[in-house]
């Protein structure tokens, strides 16, 4: 299966970033072999080896360069068929190698892999530069692009040409020789810094583990305690309880632990990742990254990185992104003031004699939730079993997309870890095979934090129809054997969110592989929209059942959850927006003598950031932005997408059949999921809704006043 050039670029950034491709040894390498077995072939995850990884990547890059050189040296005049389609057709070997590289990088990292990763990072950068700076190749692309302005191609071909040309031009293909050389040098430096950044964060997550004794467990749920004991035992500390330095451990600990000093320590460990003034501190690396990014886009004639990055996004320019965030910010921090006062009142009435600090926010917010809404998060968790939620997501996919998920249990699909499970996805009306869905749900050492979705193979009808191999990855704390994994409502929402990405992959209906790409401030929309189905009556009645009794969630509890839908939105919106604003402002600032700690502190002060909570991602561990470029000056995209999400939600809510209305579901798939990047996102949304979205629905959804 071929991954197109723009997708290869995103994979390289996602993986971490190539150097002169020295001639790879001629050998048989399991990571380069065509995928065999059922379902059009599947990755041989059971044959993965770090030892074979570098030779595989070198050989795959060398082969891809040969493919590109062959296209560039074609003596025939450039045409869509002999140039663009050949680019679309290239890269199968590299795609296979990167599928394995991504697993090593994200799911099962090790010290051995990180050594290879560090060696490969500059090589990836040089490889990428060799393609974008291949002058004969670019001139062929440019000739086709210029000709298409006067004689447009069929719509999907025209879109591929424009995206391909743009991907080259944005990466310096139009520069002169000297500027191209400097551009390539900068990319090489950045690739090393990105790898260093992500490895530093991973180091702090793995090494800042807090061990508790039995008398320090007050308030913690039983399931959390059992998992903490299991983790401690796996680390050679039997009889103790481990709180790992990841969100999946930090969040419940801060919510339930009655030990304030321990909450402070857990909070400090988590929010100090990459910021401990030691060998793993990221602040200097961030300063270098910002300088290099600004220098690089200056070569292309842009004032700042944000202006360069947003030119092909829905926002178009940083001013538009800032305008949206700044319209919401005042209402968000005003709500925080109200939330903090509610918490302080409870602390005072309990005689706690404290002033609310960041490590208190989750703990006292939970108390407020109980008082204002009579809603206990731990009670809600008893009805949120991961296995049942997985069934719920499959149910939603069946109702909206017509998909059936069937477990693959015959061993025909290899996995890279025993925790990974696989389902076959088929069309329930035709029985046609759609793809495979891999789920890797649990946190473990060597796995990056957070939740994400990815593909090992994408859909296209180019050179024959290909099925989809998609994966969802979470970091839930693994329960002890025989017990259900209970998760919070927020974690359940994230679970649905990431599954929305997977459905976006499965629903793809494009011919050319390049069109499976996405516009960053739009691709989060589809996944955010799917979150809304968690709270539908059909899901609640069928799948939110008590872990012990099997009884469905009581209507009274459902009513409390829905009544509290806008609870704590000050916290949720402010911690997110602070990170998004920081991302944008860092890239608009002059980085010449930037001091990251000072800049973060002063920017938050200018924003009147409430002192009682931090940014969701503090700058020294903001991996979205500094371990690669995927979300750099693009973290605002979650809110941009949520404007669309809130508006589309209101459309479903008002439909005759509600969230399962057949006509709306058809429009959802046809206009919002299936096209991927084959049409302009704004046009696609207008085709779905009949108009553009406005901010009003977003403000209503968050319980904020609508700005004048």
Instruction: Quickly list DSSP for 52-66.
Output: HHHHHHHHHHHHHHH
> Among all chains, which residue has been given the structure tokens 């990405």?
501
Q: How far is Cα 83 from Cα 153, in angstroms, rounded to an integer?
A: 14
Average pLDDT over residues 28-55: 95
Expressed in angstroms, the distance from the first to the final Cα of the chain is 51
- Average pLDDT of the residues in 461-470: 96
Helix ranges (H only) for 467-554 are 489-506, 520-531, 537-543
The answer to whether 91 and 25 are in contact (CB under 8 A) is: no
Please, are residues 521 and 314 in contact by the beta-carbon 8 Å criterion?
Answer: yes
Region of residue 615 (left: phi > 0; alpha: psi -120 to 50; beta: else): beta
Per-residue pLDDT tens for 118-138? 999 999 999 999 999 999 999
- What pLDDT sits at residue 261? 98
Percent over 90 (pLDDT), the chain:
93
Distance separating alpha carbons of residues 473 and 442, to the nearest angstrom: 8
Round to whole Å and give the CA distance between 663 and 676: 20
C-alpha span between 619 and 596 (Å, rounded): 8
pLDDT of 527 over the 60 cut: yes
Q: How far is CA 385 from the centre of its chain?
A: 23
- Quick one: what percent of the chain has pLDDT higher than 70? 96
Burial degree of 572 (CB within 10 A; 0-12, 13-18, 19+): middle
SS percent in the chain: helix, strand, coil, step 5? 60, 5, 35
Q: How many helices (H) and strands (E) would you count in the chain?
A: 28, 7
Question: Are the C-beta atoms of residues 545 and 554 closer than 8 Å to each other?
Answer: no
Alpha carbons 124 and 258: distance in angstroms, whole number: 48
Handedness of CA 9, 15, 16, 21 (dihedral sign): negative
Asked if residues 684 and 675 have their Cβ atoms less than 8 Å apart, the reply is yes
Chain segment 362-398, per-residue pLDDT in tens? 999 999 999 999 999 999 999 999 999 999 999 999 9
CA–CA–CA angle 187, 587, 282 (5° rounding): 65
Q: What's the pLDDT score for residue 16?
A: 31
d(CA 513, CA 5): 9
pLDDT value of position 707: 82
For range 494-509, the mean pLDDT: 98
Q: Count the Cβ atoms, other than its own, within 10 Å of residue 367.
A: 15
Q: What would be the CATH architecture of the domain defined by 5-132+134-171? A: Orthogonal Bundle (1.10)
pLDDT for residue 519: 87
Q: Are strands 421-427 and 403-407 parallel, antiparallel or unpaired?
A: antiparallel
Cβ pair 17, 125 in contact under 8 A: yes
22 confidence band (pLDDT: 50, 70, 90): very low
Each residue's pLDDT tens digit, 430-450: 999 999 999 999 999 999 989
Residues 72-111 pLDDT 10s: 999 999 999 999 999 999 999 999 999 999 999 999 999 9
How many Å apart are CA 6 and CA 167, to the nearest integer? 7
Question: What pLDDT, on the 0 to 100 scale, is given for residue 520?
Answer: 84
Mean residue pLDDT across the chain: 94
Q: How do the domains of the chain map onto residue ranges?
A: 5-132+134-171, 208-271
Is the pLDDT reported for residue 497 higher than 70? yes
Q: Which contacts qualify for 28-34: CB closer than 8 Å, 24 or more apart?
A: 29/55, 29/56, 29/59, 31/56, 31/96, 31/97, 31/100, 32/56, 32/59, 32/60, 32/93, 32/96, 32/97, 33/96, 34/96
The residues that bridge with 241 in the sheet, in sequence order, are 212
Q: What is the pLDDT of residue 491?
A: 95
Residue 2: pLDDT band (50, 70, 90) is very low
Pairing mode of beta strands 421-427, 210-212: unpaired
Q: What is the mean pLDDT of residues 214-231?
A: 95
Contact (CB, 8 A) for 364 and 354: no
Is the pLDDT assigned to residue 6 strictly greater than 70? Answer: no
The region, left, alpha or beta by phi > 0 then psi within -120 to 50, assigned to residue 568 is left
| Per-residue confidence (pLDDT) for residue 1, from 0 to 100 | 33
- Examine the pLDDT at 3 and tell me if it is beyond 90: no
pLDDT(585) > 70: yes
Query: Reduced to 3 states, what is the DSSP secondary structure of residue 651?
Result: helix
**pLDDT value at residue 661:** 98
The secondary element (H helix, E strand) that includes residue 576 is: helix 569-588
Name the DSSP class of 486: B
pLDDT category at 13 given cuts 50, 70, 90 is very low
When pLDDT is averaged across residues 623-647 and rounded to a whole number, the result is 96
- In this predicted model, what pLDDT tens digit does every residue of 285-342 receive, in sequence order? 999 999 999 999 999 999 999 999 999 999 999 999 999 999 999 999 999 999 999 9
* Residue of 516, 539, 419, 531 whose CA lies nearest to 469: 516
**Residue-wise DSSP of 337-393:** HHHHHHHHHHHHHTT------GGGHHHHHHHHHHHHH---HHHHHTT-BHHHHHHHH
Contacts by 375-381 with C-beta closer than 8 Å and gap 24+? 375/557, 375/560, 375/561, 375/564, 375/567, 377/255, 377/488, 377/489, 378/221, 378/256, 379/557, 380/488, 380/489, 380/557, 380/561, 381/221, 381/486, 381/487, 381/488, 381/489
pTM, two decimal places: 0.90
Q: Using one digit for the tens of pLDDT, what is the confidence trace for 531-581? A: 999 999 999 999 999 999 999 999 999 999 999 999 999 999 999 999 999
Distance CA 167, CA 86 (A): 16
């Amino acid at each position: 299966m071929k991954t197109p050039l723009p997708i290869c670029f995103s994979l390289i950034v996602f993986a971490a970033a190539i150097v002169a491709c020295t001639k790879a040894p001629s050998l048989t390498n399991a990571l380069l072999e065509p995928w065999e077995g059922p379902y059009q072939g599947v990755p041989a995850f059971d044959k993965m080896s770090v030892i074979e990884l570098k030779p595989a990547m070198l050989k795959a890059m060398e082969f891809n360069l040969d493919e590109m050189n062959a296209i560039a040296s074609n003596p025939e005049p450039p045409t869509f068929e002999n140039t663009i389609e050949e680019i679309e057709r290239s890269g199968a070997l590299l795609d296979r190698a990167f599928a394995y590289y991504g697993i090593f990088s994200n799911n099962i990292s090790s010290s051995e892999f990180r050594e290879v990763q560090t060696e490969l990072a500059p090589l990836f950068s040089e490889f990428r530069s060799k393609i974008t700076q291949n002058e004969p190749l670019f001139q062929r692309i440019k000739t086709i692009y210029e000709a298409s302005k006067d004689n447009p191609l069929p719509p999907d071909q025209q879109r591929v040409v424009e995206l391909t040309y743009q991907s080259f031009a944005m990466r310096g293909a139009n520069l002169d020789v000297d500027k191209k050389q400097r551009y390539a040098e900068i990319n090489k430096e950045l690739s090393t810094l990105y790898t260093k950044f992500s490895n530093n964060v991973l180091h702090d997550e793995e090494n800042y583990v807090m061990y508790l004794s039995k008398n320090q467990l007050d308030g913690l749920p039983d399931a959390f305690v059992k998992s903490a004991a299991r983790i401690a035992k796996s680390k050679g500390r039997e009889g103790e309880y481990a709180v790992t330095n990841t969100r999946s451990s930090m969040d419940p600990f801060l919510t339930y632990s009655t030990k304030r000093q321990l909450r402070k320590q857990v909070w400090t460990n988590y929010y100090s990742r990459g910021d401990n003034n030691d060998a793993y501190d990221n602040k200097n690396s961030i300063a270098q990254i910002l300088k290099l990014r600004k220098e690089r886009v200056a070569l292309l004639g842009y004032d700042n990185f944000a202006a360069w990055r947003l030119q092909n996004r829905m926002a178009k320019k940083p001013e538009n992104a800032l305008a949206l965030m700044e319209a919401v910010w005042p209402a968000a921090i005003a709500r925080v003031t109200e939330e903090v006062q509610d918490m302080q009142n409870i602390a005072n009435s309990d005689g706690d004699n404290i002033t609310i600090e960041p490590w208190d926010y989750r703990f006292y917010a939970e108390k407020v939730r109980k008082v204002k809404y009579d809603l206990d998060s731990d009670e809600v968790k008893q009805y949120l079993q991961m296995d049942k939620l997985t069934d719920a997501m499959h149910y939603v996919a069946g109702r909206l997309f017509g998909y059936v998920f069937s477990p693959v249990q015959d061993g025909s699909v290899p996995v890279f870890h025993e925790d990974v499970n696989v389902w076959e996805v088929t069309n329930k009306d035709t029985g046609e095979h759609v793809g495979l869905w891999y789920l890797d749900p649990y946190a473990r050492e060597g796995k990056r934090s957070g939740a994400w979705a990815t593909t090992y193979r994408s859909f296209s009808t180019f050179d024959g129809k290909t099925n989809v191999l998609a994966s969802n990855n979470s970091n839930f704390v693994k329960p002890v054997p025989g017990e259900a994994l209970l998760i919070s409502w927020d974690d359940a929402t994230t679970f649905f969110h990431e599954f929305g990405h997977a459905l976006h992959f499965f629903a793809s209906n494009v011919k050319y592989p390049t069109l499976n790409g996405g516009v960053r401030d739009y691709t989060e929309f589809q996944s955010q929209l799917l979150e809304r189905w968690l709270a539908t009556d059909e899901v609640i009645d069928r799948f939110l059942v008590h872990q012990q009794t099997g009884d469905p969630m009581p209507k009274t509890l459902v009513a409390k959850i829905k009544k509290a839908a806008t609870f704590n939105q000050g916290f949720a919106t402010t911690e997110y927006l602070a990170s998004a604003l920081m991302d944008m402002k860092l890239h608009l600032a002059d980085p010449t003598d930037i001091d990251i700690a000072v800049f973060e502190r002063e920017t938050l002060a200018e924003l009147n950031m409430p002192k009682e909570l931090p940014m969701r991602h503090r700058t020294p561990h903001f991996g979205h932005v500094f371990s690669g470029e995927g979300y750099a000056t693009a973290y605002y995209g979650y809110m941009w997408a949520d404007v669309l999400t809130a508006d589309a939600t209101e459309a479903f809510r008002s439909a005759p059949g509600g969230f399962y209305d057949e006509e709306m579901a058809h429009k959802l798939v046809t206009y919002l999921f299936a096209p991927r990047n084959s049409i302009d996102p704004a046009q696609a949304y207008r085709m779905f809704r009949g108009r553009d979205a406005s901010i009003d629905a977003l403000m209503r959804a968050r319980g904020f006043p609508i700005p004048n």
